[in-house]
Amino acid sequence: MSSLQEAVQGNLQAVHERITKAARVAGRDPQSVRLLAVSKTFPAEVVLAAVAAGQRAFGENYVQEAADKIQRLRELTDARPEWHFIGPIQSNKTRTIAELFDWVQSVDRLKTAQRLAEQRPADRPPLNVLVQVNISGEASKSGVEPAALDGLAREVARLPRLKLRGLMAIPEPEADETRRRAPLAAMRILFERLRAGGLPLDTLSMGMSADLEDAVLEGSTMVRIGTAIFGERERRKQ
C-alpha cells in the first residue's frame, strides 16, 4: 500500500469513527449517515486511493474537472463510484451534469431542474436531486429561501427523469455551538415538514469537516467531507 493510500485510508477511518460516535450520542444507527467524500480540486489518483479504501460516493463542484476525473477513474479502475454534483449550476453546464452525474445536490431553481430533466439520458436511471436551501440567508450563497421551498420542491418532484430525494444546505460557519446548530435544526424541521406533507424524501445533506457532529445530532443523513479526508485544498475558479 502506498503512503497516499495509507493516509487516505486512515483519514476515512477517522471520519467514520466521528460519524459513529455522533450517531450513537444522538441515539441513531451510524449506518443511517452516508459519507460523501468531497474530492473537488484533487486528482483522480487521490480519488482512486479513496476507492481502494472502500469509499464509493464522491462530490464535485466544477463540471469540466469532474468530467475529466470521471473519465480518468474509468481508465484506472473497474469500480464505478457514485458521483454527486454539489456546486452552483450554470445553465450552459446542465447537459453535462445530467449526463455524467448520479446525484445533483444543488438544485435551487425550477428552470434548472427542468433543464436537468430534459437532458437526462433516457438510458440512465432517474437523476437523484436535492433542493439546496439558503438556510442562513446569505446573499452570497446559492439556495432557495425557506419560504419558497415547499412550492419548488413539489414542482421538482413532478418532473420526469428526476427523483427528488431531499434537501441540502451549507449553513454559515459559526464558532458558537448554539448558533452553529440552529440552522441545522431549522433544516431538519423543513425536511420533516415536507415529508409530513407527502413527499417521500430520505436524504438530508448537511455537515462538513468542521460541523459533522452537529449535523449528525440534528438529523443529517449525508455528510459532505473533504478536508478531513483529503487535506487542505487550493482555492480555484471554475
- pLDDT (tens digit, 0 to 9) for every residue of the chain, 238 residues total? 689 889 999 999 999 999 999 999 999 999 999 999 999 999 999 999 999 999 999 999 999 999 999 999 999 999 999 999 999 999 999 999 999 999 999 999 999 999 999 999 999 999 999 999 999 888 778 899 999 999 999 999 999 999 999 999 999 888 888 999 999 999 999 999 999 999 999 999 999 999 999 999 999 999 999 999 999 875 544 4
**Per the domain annotation, does 49 fall within a domain?**
yes
**Per the domain annotation, does 201 fall within a domain?**
yes
Distance (Å, rounded) from C-alpha 236 to C-alpha 159?
A: 33
**Per the domain annotation, does 235 fall within a domain?**
no
**Per the domain annotation, does 9 fall within a domain?**
yes
CA 181 to chain CA mean position, Å: 19
Q: Indicate the pTM of the whole model.
A: 0.95
Local structure of residue 144 (DSSP, 8 states)? B
**Per the domain annotation, does 35 fall within a domain?**
yes
**Per the domain annotation, does 236 fall within a domain?**
no
Residue 23's closest CA among 216, 207, 180, 223?
216
Local structure of residue 139 (DSSP, 8 states)? T
**Per the domain annotation, does 150 fall within a domain?**
yes
Pair type for strands 57-60 and 82-85? parallel
Distance (Å, rounded) from C-alpha 213 to C-alpha 218?
A: 9
Distance (Å, rounded) from C-alpha 98 to C-alpha 119?
A: 6
Cell matching residue 26: 444522538
**pLDDT of res. 238:** 42
Q: What is the CATH number of the domain that holds 50?
A: 3.20.20.10
The letter for the amino acid at 230 is F
**pLDDT of res. 235:** 55
Domain count for the chain: 1
**Per the domain annotation, does 134 fall within a domain?**
yes
Instruction: Supply the range of the domain harboring residue 194.
Output: 3-230
